[in-house]
Structure 1
Amino acid sequence: MSANKTKMLYKAAGGDTFTQLDGLMEVPEFGGAPEKIDVTTLSDGIKKYVNGIVDMGDLVFKFLYDNSSATSNYRVLRTMQENGETGEFKLTYPDGTGHEFKAQVSVKMDAAAVNGALTFSCTMNLQSEVTVTDPSEE
């Protein structure tokens, strides 16, 4: 399956509906292995572990830069950062699979080059669990 048609949506502060953030170019790996908690006792012959919490690491999304209006991708995300807002986001893949989460954002302009597209990166620090939705079976 192609990654084309993958979408990032956000819910404005106090809003009820998700709005698409245009210009999404790259999505990070999503998921992670739980950290191991050592529960080995002195009577054990091998080390024993139980699963701890999952650290999904840095979630860095790349966007094509647009700052042409109040609803442009760069301005929406930069405003969330400046206001210290925790945003609600929904990432959807072409088959309908979705990841919904809350995050605080940090925006930075990417390096620019001759004959290159102007882009920016948005790092999302999770503030909630990630809810996964499966595609509908129709």
Structure 2
Amino acid sequence: MEKLKIALVDLQCEMVAQRNIVNPDNISWLQYDILYQLNKLKEILPSDLSNILGTSRTKLSKALKELKTLEYIQQYPNKQDGRELYTSISKKGKSLLNNISEKHNSLYETTLQSLTREEQNEFEKIAIKLSTALKEKRVNNYE
């Protein structure tokens, strides 16, 4: 296995482990990603959210239903088409994300301690470039 491939797999495993540590309510990864996107986007239609997350409408619908039951999101009808529901994050959902975010500081602190300032800057550029490319590939393959 190439060293780069091993490094990517190891980093992915560690990031998953970190994500499990900071998830106090044991929500699914998809549910976390939904809340994260809603926090950034404010409100969105499920069809658009499905495209952003690269997941099926069925999986998304189930996750949204569970998040609504937990009162982490709120939904209301689209005035132009009542069959569509705009979805937004609730105060309780924002609070959950804030708690998780505070726990993410440990990951950030470890990064600051492990990398020089120059390495941090380079890692930031590379991480943004790679995550953008992965997202574009996923979205383009999903359409």
TM normalised by structure 1 equals 0.31
Instruction: Say which structure is richer in strand.
Output: 1
Larger-Rg structure: 1
TM normalised by structure 2 equals 0.31
